[in-house]
Each structure stands twice: as C-alpha cells, then as structure tokens.
Structure 1
Amino acid sequence: MLTVRALLDDPSLELRLLHPGASGALDAEVLWVHNTELGDPSPYVRERELVLTNGLWLAETSADGFVASVRRAGAAGIVFGLRTRTPSTPPELLAACVAADLPLAEISTRVPFTALTRAAAAIHAEQRQGILLGMVRRGDALASAISHGGGPSGVLEVLRGEHDLPLAVVDRTGRALAGVPLAPEQLRAVAAGLARRPPPLELDLGETERATLFLVGAAGDVDAALVCLRPARALSRTERDALDQAARFLSLEVAKRQAVQAIELRFASELLDMILSGPQRAAELPGRLQAFGVDPGGELAVYALACPGADTAVPPGLAEAVADFFLAESTAAVVAGGSHDVVAVFTWQRPEAQLRATGTRLVAAVGARFAGRRPVLGIGGVAADATALRQPLVRSREACRVLVRRGGNPEVATFGELGTHRLLLGLQDPETLRGFADGVLGPLRDHDRERGSELVRTLRAFMANDGHWAATAAALFVHVNTLRNRLVKVAELSGRDVARTEDRVDLYLALEAEEFES
C-alpha cells in the first residue's frame, strides 16, 4: 500500500522526515502524489494525496495559509523539495505543519520529484499485482470450495483464512445458510431489507449493531446476502473486495441450489398428481417416493400448509421453510409447493394422535420465518402405505382451505374436526364433481354467455346472503323485483327452485363444487 512511510523507507528517494503528523498518519493510505506551486491548491488536491512543492508560493502567501489549504483539502502530507536557492526547509513551514499536525518531509536536491512519482507508481503497481494475485488465489479457493460441495460454509471458510470478520449468509426468507448465529429478529431484519427495492447496503440489526450487506443474486434477482456484522466504514478496501468476490461466488451456489430445488419441486408436484390420479398411476408412486428417501411401504402422513391474508398466494420460500423443518426433525419428506398451499408427505412411525403436536411445531417454525404471515395447517391423517395416500392428501388440502377461509382460527385442525360439507366434496372424484356442477349450472352459464345475463352471479349472491331478498338485491344494486325475475329464470333453466330446501341444497353444492374444482 502506498503510504508516506513506504516512501520514507526507500533510500533512493533521500527523504527526511521533519514532522510525523497525527498518530497513524505515516501509515495511512496515500491516494497519489500532487505537484503544486499554487498559494491555495485546495480546489485541485484530492483527499489523501501527498503534496509535492518547492515553495515557489512563498512569494505570494504565507506558510500558514498554504498548510491550511492543504489541510482543508484532506491531503496526506507535504514533501518539500530542496533547491540550491532553498537548501533547507523554511522554519515557518515546519512550524505550520506542526501546528496543523500534518506530516512533513523534505527531499534532497539530488532527487527530482519525478523519482518520487515513479516510486509511487511502482508501489501502486506492486499493490495492484498483489491484489490481482490475491483475487486469483481466492477465486481458485472459492471455486474449489463450491465444486467440492462446501456451499456457503465453504465460502466463509475461505474468507476466514484471510480476514477475521463476523460473517453470515442469509437468504431472502430469513433463513441462515451459514456463518455466525443471528437472533430471529436479526434474520427477519435481513429478510425485510432484501425485500426492499433496491435493497440497502447497510442495515441496523439492533440498537448498537450495524451490518454491511453484500448482495447475492441469481437469475437477475436478490436471493440472499453475505452479511458482515460491521459497518462499511470499518472495512478496509481489501476486505470489501474480498467480500464482493465471495458474494459473486455465492451467486453461483444460489443459482445451483435454485436449479436443484426447482427440479425437486417439479418432481414433488408430479407426485401429488400421481396420488390424485388414483389407480392409473399407482405403480409410479413407490419409485418417486423412494427418490426422496421416503419408504413407500410404511405408514405415511400428509400436511397441507398455507398463509391466510389479503394475498393468499404462497409466499416465496414457504416450501423451503417446510422442508427445513422436516430436515431438522430428521424425517424423510416430500414437500411440494402449489399456488395456494404447500403439501408435505412424510414418513410417520408414531401414534396418529401426535400429528397435531408436530403440526403445531411446524406452524411455529414457519411463523418465525415469515413475520406478519400467520400459517395454518390441515392434517390429513395417516395412510397405511403409498397406495392409500389419496384420501389423506385431499383431506389435508381441504382442511387447510377451510382454515384459510376462517382466517387462521384455529391454526391447526384435522379433517374430521372441521365438520364442513367441503370436506365431503373433497372426497369425491374430480370427474363426479365436475359433472354435478355442469349439470346444475351449465344451463345458467350458457344463458349468461348468450344473453349477457348474470344468473350465476345472482345465485351466488343469494346464497352468500343466506337467502335474504333485500340484502341480496342491495349487494347486486338491483330492485327486489329484478332479483325475483332472475331467480325465476334460474328455476326455469335448472329445474331447481330456491324456495325449496332440497333444491337450494343442490344449487349451493353445485356452486361449491364449481369453486372447489377451480
């Protein structure tokens, strides 16, 4: 690194130190050298430049004024060049530098300033070469760590070999991938920071803890951060360069993980399709389960988990959070993420009654990862083996769907506890449900499409308002007589009158079956 001390240590420059300046000034980095004879060079001198001067300005300004301007520019110090006419450094310049606590050295009359410039360039070139060689060596070590499966922990191990820094890798869901342990609130703070656009480069992780984030991205998005538990101003340029390089290598690791996770999720989703298809694809189930480490011949349980709220879509990272839970529980599981829920099919060798306790722990673990989202979990029960998975799968997903509609009250429930007609609908074959809904509502849909009417919407509003005429008319912004005329047309086309209980049940179930299928 170019410093005043490094130049003083070069005997060919014949420099003599007159005043060392403030503590540490001689060892602080020097940006470059700047030759000037201006009385006020402050507009042109950059911060941390070393000022070279022969003192020609003495004719127009005082030493105090010159040193003040150099100090104001933030220069690293002054080198006074001796000449035949000025064989020694002016005492007033030395006094001004002592008063300003600014380093001052003098250079022999036998050595031109160009020699000092060449020496500075040589130090810079050596430093850049060292940095480049360091980056190459570090890059080789990082590539080796990743290629040998070291993952984020391997990357941090390489960094620890060079720098003693408190580091952690955290993904956008608040999951700690490696490094020093962080408190749950700190992990949530990192996740919240990564969700901002653009993400911050520094983040408060507590009243006294300020961290620097080095963003890790794959496929054009920010997926994680290399977190250094020190503010950016406390990091040297060498440390920042090393962390930047490590973050780029972590991006490769994240991209690799995402590709693997995408394949696993696709295979897991295909597994759910196999289960729902019944006997047609039953032969494929054992092999697919075994690929995930799940014994297809043993007892299996099914959970379905979702996050109620204004946005009922599955938040990013929910499937990974569920998978992490089962990994921590040392339980083999297949986890599949859908648009509205995440399903887990897992090995179960304990009494069925204990499914609730495990489900409650899963909800708590996921809730800690997704602040502001309150998960719910439907328990589908236990299947004797892979061939009996369809019913527990349907039960768990429908129980979860009911819990979402209820706003998460309760958070965990079994299929049998909810006591709703939708659970019975969920046990029916999809073809049967579709045929029933089409048979009842098909004529109404055709009429709406051909005439631009709103019979299906009117019927749905009537059921939602418990058959109250005035409330339904108000909800539809129509007169009660218009509502009566529409429901007469519904009875005419469907053969079912809303005034008769059994017909109203048919109409209601048809609407529910249609929504169930969607």
Structure 2
Amino acid sequence: MAEHKLTVEDLLRSPALQLRLLAGEAGLSRSVSWAHVSELDDPTPWLLGAEVIMTTGLGVPRTAARQRAYLERLDDAGVSALALSAQLHVPPLHPAFFEAAESRGMPVLEVPLAVPFIAIAQEVAAALQEDASHRLGAQLQVFGALRWLASEDLDNATLFNRLERLSGYDVYMCTPQGRALLPGVPVPALDVLPKEPDAPPTIPGGFVLPVSAPGGPAGFLVAFEREGARPAGLAVVQHIATVAALQVAMARHEHETLRREGAETLAELLQDVLDPPAARRRLARLGLPLAEDSVLLVVRGAPDDALRRALDDLPHLMLRRGDDHYLMGPPELGSAIAALPGVRAGMSRPFPPGESMRLVQREALWAVAHAAESGRPLVHYGDDTTGRWLPDDPATLAALVDHVLGEVLAYDKAHDSRLLASVRVWMERNRHTDDAAAALHIHPNTLAYRLRRFAALTGRDLSSSGAFAEVWLAIRAARQLGLLGFGP
C-alpha cells in the first residue's frame, strides 16, 4: 500500500477482499479515510469525505435518473468509492449510472457475498492506524500556532506556510466575494466555494471551511492535499481556520485603529494645524505613499460601507463631515469612487502630501458642487477651464459676485425667482434658447423674459462679448463660493 495514504486502488488490490471494479477506473487514486455502511438514499449529511460507502443495495434507487442522482450526490460529498454487495438487494443498474461513474471518475466496486463488510472496515482501519500517530503529531504542532504568533510575530505568509508544511495541505483563503482575505495568503478558485451555508466541508481533494467573524463568516479557508505530503485531516484544517479567524480579527482591529487615526489626521490637515514634516511622518505611518502626489476628494451620495469596499485595496484617509466624505490618497481613488452608483464626487488637483490643504479643499468643494449640479459622478477641478482665471481668495471672489450679480441674487431671494439659474443654464447651453428652456422645463418666451430681466438688473447686455465674459466669470465665482443651487 502507499506509504502516505490508503487509496481505492489499494483496497482493490487486496487479495483478502476480492473486490471487483464495475466502473470509475479514473478515480482509483482517491484516498480513503474510512469505510462506512449506509442503506440511506442520501447519507451525505453524515459524511466528512473520503469514505468508502458500503451498501447491500436497499438505498440504491431503481430508476435511471435517481440512480445517477444518487451517485452524483455521493461524489459531490467527497465519497471515495461506492461498494455494492453482490447477490443481495442491489437493483438492476442502468447505463446512466455507469456513465455518471465513468464521467466523474467515481469508483463503483462489487463486494462478493462471501466477504463481509466488516472485513473491508478492518482492512481500512489497520491501514490507517500507522497514520494516526502522524496526524496526532501534526495536530499538536498546529495547535502551537498561537504560541508562534505571540513569540515570533510572524507575518501571514510565514505563518500559513508553516501550517501548510505541518498539515500536509495547500491553504487558500478569500472573502465571500472572492477577494483576498489576508495579505500573503493566495485566493482559491471560486468554483470550490460552498453554494449553501450548511454545505458539507468536504470537496474533492480537501476541505472548505468558513472563517468565523462577528456577524457571519469573514470568508472561507480552502485546504487541498499537497502532492507527496501526508494530510493530517479535518481536525487540523478546522484549527487552521480558527487561526485564520484570529488573524482576521487582529487585522480588522488594526485596520479600524488606523482608520480612526487617519480620520483624525485628515481633520487636522484640513484645519491646517500640522506642519509639513509632522504631517508627512503621520502619512507615512498610515501607509500613504509620499513619493507621489495625493488628491483630495469630497464625495456625496455614497454609504460608508460602499466606500470602504470600493477603497479597500487603495491607501487613503477618510473623514466624514455631515453628508460629505473627505478622502485623501493617490489619484486612483477617483476611478474607484466614480464606479459607485449614484455618487457625486469632486477631486482637487494633485498636491504634495503634507503640504497645506486650504486651497485643495476649496478645489474639491467646487468640483463636487459642479458634479452635483451637472449629474456627473466625478468632476476634476480644472475640468472647467474658466476656473483658472478666477482668484483663490474668497473675499475677492465675493466682491466679484456682489458687483456683477448682487442685484440678481437679491431679486431671486425676494421674489423666489430663478433669474440667475436661468441665465446660467442658457450660457451652459451655448446660448441656445430652445435647449435651455427644455432643460429648465419652461417655455422659450419665459426664458427670453428672464434674460431681459437679468440684463436690466445687472446693467449688462448679454449680446456683448465683454458683458457675457464678465457674467460668466461671476457665475463661476458664485458656484465656487457655494452660492448656487444644484438644479437647473
């Protein structure tokens, strides 16, 4: 017999058992963990995998479709082989049954009437006894993983590489969505993940187990038998999943601590109370790259959890102020945010990390106002080239707005009218009255009246290029100061 594990082929070759192969020759290399008698139509809820199921045939269905489903259920549960007693209660087996066994490589064995099932069970037990001491030793060493964590401060890759060598399994982990669960641990193929929450742990060639966390599984651990190794069994894999759960909890705690520290740091940066060297030291500790420029985004319309999922793989700081989220990090943040449904975001121009953020804060606020106004998911400051001609000083901008638009703003407020909004939409539609009226949901004659009223209040003839440019800049200044609404 094989030194590291018992296989179906080993049982087939045993002269004492006199087994005969009926189908499924491709699966003879399957390992065997136990031999169990079952006369149930579906014994899979009570199986762990790698068992030889022995039956007199009482549980074997009679129709072709049900026979095929019976064999497929056993194979899906990780059963190594099906052993049928000859000349007892096995019904006639249909071609569909044998076709399923061949296509899946599921060995079907015939047991002579003279060979009792207990003989097969004893043969399996005797073959596996030698492996029991190895399994116990592996379990004891794997149980020492917590001591390694406390004394050696191992990273994830080193820790789980050790557990792989001791357990005889290749270990993979992922979130329920198929993303990496722990850095340094590879992600499995998604087709091995369970479709149901109470699915059995056994899969072909190994096990899949949930990694526990408060509120539900954080993800899954998949363990495949390593070629040439001696797998230590389900108990060891369960303990590895417990170690993974502990690592996930520690990582989440560290992530939450960094998130809170990042929010505090961003608040101080926005208030301009950190000097550049101190700011850069903080940003480096929080994982933001200092060798490349950062951007500031103001985001509206995105829930906290959606933002965190979208930005999980990107270094960033996040601070919530009212309904807005302020984000600082690399420019790639913009693409991740723009992909979220219903979001409106504004991005500043890139700036060196640690420098004063007074100007970039105004840029991001202007850009998010423009995004909300235009319905675009993301606006970069500078998309509107007119903005480059405006000063950064709020007092100067306010003076421009008051000088050009003061009378109109006062009139709109007193009469609850929309003169300024109507002129803005008309200008943005390149002075196409019909298009602007449609966007405002008013008649073109109504828009024409508003344009005349606006000209009378401001004393500026909008057919003049100079007056048009002055009004256009004043409207941009008003928007930069947050004086315009977000609708047309």
The normalised TM-score by structure 1 is 0.50
Q: Which residue in the other structure is 2:264 paired with?
A: 270
Q: Which secondary structure state, in structure 2, belongs to the residue aligned with residue 17 of structure 1?
A: coil
Amino acid at match of 2:54: L
Q: Which secondary structure state, in structure 2, belongs to the residue aligned with residue 19 of structure 1?
A: coil
Amino acid at match of 1:251: A
- Asked if 2 retains the 8 angstrom alpha-carbon contact of 1:460 and 1:511, the reply is no
How far the C-alpha of 1:422 sits from its partner, in A, is 4.0
Deviations 1:402-441 (A, max 9, x none): 99999999x9x9x8x8783446779445x98799889958
Q: For structure 1, which runs of at least 5 residues remain unmatched after alignment?
A: 8-15, 35-40, 58-67, 82-99, 202-209, 324-334, 345-358
Amino acid at match of 2:83: A
Q: Does 1:290 align with 2:284?
A: no
Q: Which residue in the other structure is 1:60 paired with?
A: none
Q: Which residue in the other structure is 2:146 paired with?
A: 143
Match of 1:76 among 57, 63, 83: 83
CA distance in 1, matches of 2:451, 2:30: 92
Deviations 1:315-363 (A, max 9, x none): 545655443xxxxxxxxxxx4146777424xxxxxxxxxxxxxx8xx85
CA distance in 1, matches of 2:446, 2:206: 65
How far the C-alpha of 1:304 sits from its partner, in A, is 1.5
Shifted more, 25-34 versus 269-278: the winner is 25-34
- Asked if 1 retains the 8 angstrom alpha-carbon contact of 2:296 and 2:360, the reply is no
Q: For residues 169 and 290 of structure 1, do their structure 2 counterparts lie closer, same or farther at Cα, with a shift above 3 Å needed?
A: same
Match of 1:478 among 438, 442, 449: 442
CA distance in 2, matches of 1:241, 1:119: 22
Deviations 1:225-255 (A, max 9, x none): 5466799xxx999656654553453233233
- Asked if 2 retains the 8 angstrom alpha-carbon contact of 1:319 and 1:342, the reply is no
Q: Which residue in the other structure is 1:21 paired with?
A: 20
CA distance in 2, matches of 1:48, 1:228: 21
Q: Which residue in the other structure is 1:389 paired with?
A: 356
Q: Does 1:102 align with 2:110?
A: yes
How far the C-alpha of 1:472 sits from its partner, in A, is 0.6
Q: Which residue in the other structure is 1:351 paired with?
A: none
How far the C-alpha of 1:257 sits from its partner, in A, is 1.9
Q: Does 1:304 align with 2:295?
A: yes
CA distance in 1, matches of 2:291, 2:358: 12
Amino acid at match of 1:483: L
Q: Does 1:32 align with 2:13?
A: no
Q: For residues 257 and 118 of structure 1, do their structure 2 counterparts lie closer, same or farther at Cα, with a shift above 3 Å needed?
A: closer
Q: For residues 51 and 44 of structure 1, do their structure 2 counterparts lie closer, same or farther at Cα, with a shift above 3 Å needed?
A: same
Deviations 1:109-130 (A, max 9, x none): xxxx9x999989x99xx99x99
Q: For residues 483 and 392 of structure 1, do their structure 2 counterparts lie closer, same or farther at Cα, with a shift above 3 Å needed?
A: closer
CA distance in 1, matches of 2:435, 2:214: 51
Q: Which residue in the other structure is 1:467 paired with?
A: 431
Match of 2:255 among 247, 253, 261: 261
CA distance in 1, matches of 2:17, 2:247: 54
CA distance in 2, matches of 1:435, 1:142: 68
How far the C-alpha of 1:479 sits from its partner, in A, is 0.5
Q: Does 1:511 align with 2:473?
A: no
Q: For residues 401 and 370 of structure 1, do their structure 2 counterparts lie closer, same or farther at Cα, with a shift above 3 Å needed?
A: closer
Deviations 1:377-417 (A, max 9, x none): 9763448xx5x5236755985899799999999x9x9x8x8
- Asked if 2 retains the 8 angstrom alpha-carbon contact of 1:303 and 1:343, the reply is yes
CA distance in 2, matches of 1:3, 1:174: 34
**Higher RCO (CA 8 Å, separation ≥ 6 residues):** 2
How far the C-alpha of 1:505 sits from its partner, in A, is 2.8
The normalised TM-score by structure 2 is 0.53
Q: Which secondary structure state, in structure 1, belongs to the residue aligned with residue 260 of structure 2?
A: helix
- Asked if 1 retains the 8 angstrom alpha-carbon contact of 2:296 and 2:326, the reply is yes
Q: Which residue in the other structure is 1:177 paired with?
A: 183
CA distance in 1, matches of 2:158, 2:422: 62
CA distance in 1, matches of 2:438, 2:6: 80
How far the C-alpha of 1:473 sits from its partner, in A, is 0.4
Amino acid at match of 1:420: T
- Asked if 2 retains the 8 angstrom alpha-carbon contact of 1:465 and 1:471, the reply is yes
Q: Which secondary structure state, in structure 2, belongs to the residue aligned with residue 150 of structure 1?
A: coil
CA distance in 1, matches of 2:192, 2:452: 57
Amino acid at match of 1:461: V
CA distance in 1, matches of 2:87, 2:231: 30
Q: For residues 5 and 193 of structure 1, do their structure 2 counterparts lie closer, same or farther at Cα, with a shift above 3 Å needed?
A: closer
- Asked if 2 retains the 8 angstrom alpha-carbon contact of 1:77 and 1:102, the reply is yes
Q: Which residue in the other structure is 1:160 paired with?
A: 164
Deviations 1:191-215 (A, max 9, x none): x999x9999x9xxxxxxxx999766
Q: For residues 154 and 462 of structure 1, do their structure 2 counterparts lie closer, same or farther at Cα, with a shift above 3 Å needed?
A: same
How far the C-alpha of 1:305 sits from its partner, in A, is 7.4
Of Structure 1 and Structure 2, the greater helix share is in 1
Alignment of 1:208-223 (within 5 A): 216=211, 218=213, 220=215
Alignment of 1:355-394 (within 5 A): 380-382=350-352, 388-390=355-357, 393-394=360-361
CA distance in 1, matches of 2:385, 2:206: 50
Deviations 1:57-100 (A, max 9, x none): 9xxxxxxxxxx9xx99975354999xxxxxxxxxxxxxxxxxx9
Identity %: 15
CA distance in 1, matches of 2:427, 2:196: 46
Q: For residues 442 and 336 of structure 1, do their structure 2 counterparts lie closer, same or farther at Cα, with a shift above 3 Å needed?
A: farther
- Asked if 1 retains the 8 angstrom alpha-carbon contact of 2:6 and 2:33, the reply is yes
CA distance in 2, matches of 1:303, 1:238: 49
Q: Which secondary structure state, in structure 2, belongs to the residue aligned with residue 270 of structure 1?
A: helix
Deviations 1:475-499 (A, max 9, x none): 222101222444566678x857683
CA distance in 1, matches of 2:453, 2:195: 53
CA distance in 2, matches of 1:463, 1:337: 36
Q: Which residue in the other structure is 2:317 paired with?
A: 336
How far the C-alpha of 1:510 sits from its partner, in A, is 0.8
Alignment of 1:420-439 (within 5 A): 420-422=385-387, 427-428=392-393
Amino acid at match of 2:295: A
Amino acid at match of 1:464: E
Q: For structure 2, which runs of at least 5 residues remain unmatched after alignment?
A: 45-50, 59-66, 75-80, 89-107, 200-204, 341-345
Q: For residues 466 and 221 of structure 1, do their structure 2 counterparts lie closer, same or farther at Cα, with a shift above 3 Å needed?
A: farther
How far the C-alpha of 1:163 sits from its partner, in A, is 3.8
Q: Which residue in the other structure is 2:63 paired with?
A: none
CA distance in 2, matches of 1:454, 1:136: 76
CA distance in 2, matches of 1:426, 1:228: 62
Amino acid at match of 1:380: P
